[in-house]
Amino acid sequence: MDQRDRDLLNEIQADFPVGPHPYRVLGQRLGMNEREVLERIAGLKQEGVIRRLGASINSRKVGFVSTLLAAQVPEKKLDEFVAIVNACPGVTHNYERDHRYNVWFTLISPSADDKERTIRSLVERTGIDILELPAKKIFKIRVNFKF
């Protein structure tokens, strides 16, 4: 990763342009052409530096509900459990932890009823009880890594 990649990452995180040609705009800001920007982003994605490009939307403001879930998954069922959870629409993060509850994941659903249905379905499909840890208060932070 060279300085141009670092500059591009900083720009993408802090001020991604919204418009018909965002990569051209990024290039103009950074002294690159659109093709170079796209190639650099593709390379950074391939290297695993960039996981995804997309908007962060406040799900509550658009009527969705979210929750943190945890499960105690036996080692022999871990891969199967994780595959089922990861295939579930609305699961945004999934982590294995060194804890009695060794799998923690987040779920965003269009309604409380849909959230409950999804949790019940996961329990039925996996045979694993799932603990819900709903947020009492949201403390949202913005993190930009300075490269």
- Which residues, at least 6 apart from 114, have a Cβ–Cβ distance to it below 8 Å? none
Residue 52 pLDDT > 90: no
Angle at alpha carbon of residue 86, lines to 83 and 92, rounded to 5°: 165
State residue 55's pLDDT score: 79
Decide if 30 contacts 37 (C-beta within 8 A).
Answer: yes
Note the pLDDT tens digit of each residue in 54-70: 877 788 889 899 999 99
- The Cα-based distances of 83 to 40, 87, 114 in angstroms read 31, 6, 20
Decide if 44 contacts 9 (C-beta within 8 A).
Answer: yes
Distance in angstroms (rounded) separating the CA atoms of residues 103 and 95: 6
State residue 73's pLDDT score: 98
What three-state secondary structure class fits 92?
A: strand
- Sorted by where each starts, the structural domains of the chain and their CATH numbers stand as 3-46 (no CATH), 59-133 (3.30.70.3460)
Mean pLDDT on 117-126: 97
Mean pLDDT on 108-131: 97
State residue 138's pLDDT score: 77
- Exposed / middle / buried, residue 87 (Cβ in 10 Å: 0-12, 13-18, 19+): exposed
Note the pLDDT tens digit of each residue in 81-94: 999 999 999 999 99
Share of the chain above pLDDT 90, in %: 79
Q: Kindly report the backbone phi and psi dihedral angles of residue 133, in degrees, each rounded to the nearest multiple of 5, phi listed first.
A: -125, 75
Mean pLDDT on 115-140: 93
- Label residue 141 by pLDDT band (50, 70, 90): low
